[in-house]
């Protein structure tokens, strides 16, 4: 792409004496100096403690033609043209959209944000659209889909250049609809800046990422950014922030607001809910329509995920009857309340629950159908929000008969010290518990001590097939290990 096309619509100031060559052909736009090649543009991102401005020397060594900066303290070089902008994070998104010829103009993006439920909701939306013979893509925590192809994901929402490249490939493949998980990190760091969403879905908001967001209000407002950049905003009416969101959305006359819920009035309501180990059954009421839905995942949280999917499909023009047919053919999502039944008559549930609210939801559900005891295996990730550790310990203690405290992804932290902080909350309850740092041994212990009608809840990692230790990433899958131990 010629440089003048790349810079279209971007406000900047040229620093130093070097001149811009508008006709220069640019080969790549990057935020990572290791990926610079050919006639390249480097855009340093600012992400918390990480500042890409610190890597400008490497960009110069890689012969970057243009370097964008948002700071006045950068030392200029005659080898590159330096352009000053207000926000390099936003600028990267603008450049990426230009470089990949604005792929979102040819796609219907369905963004899903919230503390919990993003992955399940995006998967369900995609599967239903496939049922309706639509060409789909998907971007999220577990994997990326381009029609029938699947690729592993490294971020819930990719960095701007990666995101636009993926979307460009989707356009080339003939994709029309793209459900995409949009994290609060991505919204704060402007990864989806400039993307217009056909639909923005808000699932819920509870404590998470307090290591990244300074306040809960900042976290709340980050999620709101997705809804404000959508033509249609779908809001869970049962969340504490729903009224605040709706009031903010009403100020934007171009946004259509749609709500769903169980306990408060909404456009789409679930009533007469029945939950057991086989799944969830409930009536869905929309205007004059009423349909009975059945999904394979038990729990009120599963009803909410289904309602967000139903609401999305209604906005896209489908009837309740059509949606019920589409959902009735769907299986559960890997690592989301995935259930395994042993020959000895107890069951094991593997779930991604890694927040206080997520753990509370799955343990409440387990208690609803457990005829015996609930045995919970869990830990907390290292280098992440420490304040949620005692809260999760208390929740595990209150809703379990036995807790096996173990390691999650400790990263650079000492697993024993992480367990110490979780144990503070556990001790506030009278639950019986044991500490077993080795996660495989912890799962094994829980299953060996389970009896007929017990439920073993293995929480925290869900679909993940790795564990991040201070020595690096190793292969580890709760699902694989549970299957192995059951056999």
Percent of the chain with pLDDT over 70: 98
Nearest CA to 361 out of 97, 117, 32, 25 is that of 117
Q: Are 320 and 310 in contact (CB under 8 A)?
A: yes
Beta bridge partners, 293, equal 282
Is pLDDT above 90 for 49? no
Q: Residue 207's pLDDT band (boundaries 50, 70, 90)?
A: low
pLDDT (0 to 100) of residue 331: 87
What is the number of alpha carbons within 13 Å of residue 35 lying toward its C-beta? Answer: 12
E-assigned strand segments in 394-441 = 402-405, 432-435
Q: With contact defined as beta carbons under 8 Å apart, do 457 and 360 qualify?
A: no
Q: Is residue 253's pLDDT more than 90?
A: no
pLDDT tens sequence across 2-44:
999 999 999 999 999 899 999 999 999 999 999 999 999 999 9
User: What confidence category does residue 48 fall into, taking pLDDT thresholds of 50, 70 and 90?
Assistant: confident
CA distance linking residue 287 with residue 285, whole number of Å: 7
79, pLDDT greater than 60? yes
Per-residue pLDDT tens digits for 90-115: 999 999 999 999 999 999 999 999 99
Confidence of residue 212 (pLDDT cuts 50, 70, 90): low
Q: Helix 388-398 vs helix 415-426: angle between axes, to the nearest 10 degrees?
A: 50
State residue 18's pLDDT score: 92
Strand 28-30 to strand 40-42: parallel, antiparallel, or no bridges (unpaired)?
parallel
Q: What is the pLDDT of residue 304?
A: 97
CA nearest neighbour of 40 among 49, 27, 53 = 27
Per DSSP, which regions of 342-393 are E strands? 347-351, 374-378
Q: What is the mean pLDDT of residues 111-130?
A: 96
| pLDDT for residue 208 is more than 60 | no
272-301 mean pLDDT: 95
Contact present, 285 and 261 (Cβ < 8 Å): no
Of the pLDDT bands very low, low, confident and very high (cuts 50, 70, 90), residue 332 is confident
What is the model's pLDDT at position 72?
86
pLDDT at site 213: 54
For 405-433, what is each residue's pLDDT tens digit? 999 999 999 999 999 999 999 999 999 99
* Radius of gyration of the chain, Cα coordinates, nearest whole angstrom: 24
Is the pLDDT at 57 greater than 70? The verdict is yes
| Residue appearing with tokens 């990480």 | 50
Q: How confident is the model at residue 261 (pLDDT cuts 50, 70, 90)?
A: very high
Report, as an integer, the average pLDDT of 458-474.
95
């Amino acid at each position: 792409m010629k440089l003048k096309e790349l810079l279209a619509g971007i406000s900047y100031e040229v620093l130093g004496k070097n001149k811009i060559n508008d006709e220069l052909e640019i080969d790549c736009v990057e935020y990572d100096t290791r990926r610079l090649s050919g006639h390249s543009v480097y855009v340093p991102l600012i992400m918390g403690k990480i500042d890409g401005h610190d890597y400008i020397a490497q960009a110069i060594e890689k012969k970057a033609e243009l370097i964008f900066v948002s700071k006045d303290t950068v030392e200029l070089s005659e080898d590159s043209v330096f352009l000053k902008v207000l926000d390099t994070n936003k600028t990267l998104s603008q450049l990426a959209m230009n470089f990949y010829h604005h792929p979102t103009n040819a796609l219907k993006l369905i963004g899903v944000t919230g503390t919990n439920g993003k992955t399940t909701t995006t998967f369900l939306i995609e599967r239903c659209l496939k049922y309706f013979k639509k060409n789909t893509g998907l971007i999220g925590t577990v994997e990326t889909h381009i029609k029938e192809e699947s690729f592993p994901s490294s971020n819930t929402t990719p960095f701007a250049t990666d995101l636009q490249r993926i979307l460009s490939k989707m356009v080339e493949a003939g994709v029309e609809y793209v459900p995409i998980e949009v994290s609060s990190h991505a919204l704060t760091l402007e990864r989806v800046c400039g993307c217009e969403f056909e639909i923005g879905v808000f699932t819920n908001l509870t404590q998470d990422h307090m290591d990244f967001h300074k306040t809960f209000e900042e976290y709340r407002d980050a999620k709101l950014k997705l809804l404000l950049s959508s033509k249609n905003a779908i809001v869970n009416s049962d969340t504490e922030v729903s009224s605040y969101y709706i009031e903010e959305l009403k100020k934007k006359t171009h946004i259509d607001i749609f709500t769903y819920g169980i306990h408060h009035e909404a456009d789409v309501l679930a009533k007469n809910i029945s939950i057991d180990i086989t799944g969830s059954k409930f009536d869905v009421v929309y205007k004059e329509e009423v349909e009975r839905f059945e999904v394979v995942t038990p729990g009120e949280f599963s009803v909410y995920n289904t309602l967000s999917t139903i609401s999305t499909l209604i906005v896209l023009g489908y009837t309740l009857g059509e949606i019920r047919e589409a959902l009735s053919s769907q299986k559960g999502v890997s690592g989301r309340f995935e259930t395994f039944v042993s020959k000895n008559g107890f069951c094991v549930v593997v779930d991604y629950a890694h927040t206080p609210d997520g753990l509370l939801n799955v343990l409440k559900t387990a208690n609803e159908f457990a005829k015996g005891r609930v045995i919970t295996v869990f830990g907390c990730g290292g280098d992440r929000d420490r304040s949620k550790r005692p809260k999760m310990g208390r929740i595990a203690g209150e809703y379990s008969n036995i807790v096996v405290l173990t390691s999650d992804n400790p990263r650079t932290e000492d697993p024993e010290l992480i367990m110490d902080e979780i144990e503070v909350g556990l001790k506030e309850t009278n639950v019986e518990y044991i500490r077993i740092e080795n996660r495989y041994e912890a799962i094994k212990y829980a299953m060996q001590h389970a009896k007929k009608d017990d439920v073993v809840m293995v929480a925290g990692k869900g679909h993940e097939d790795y564990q991040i230790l201070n020595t690096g990433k190793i292969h580890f899958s709760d699902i694989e290990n549970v299957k192995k131990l059951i056999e």
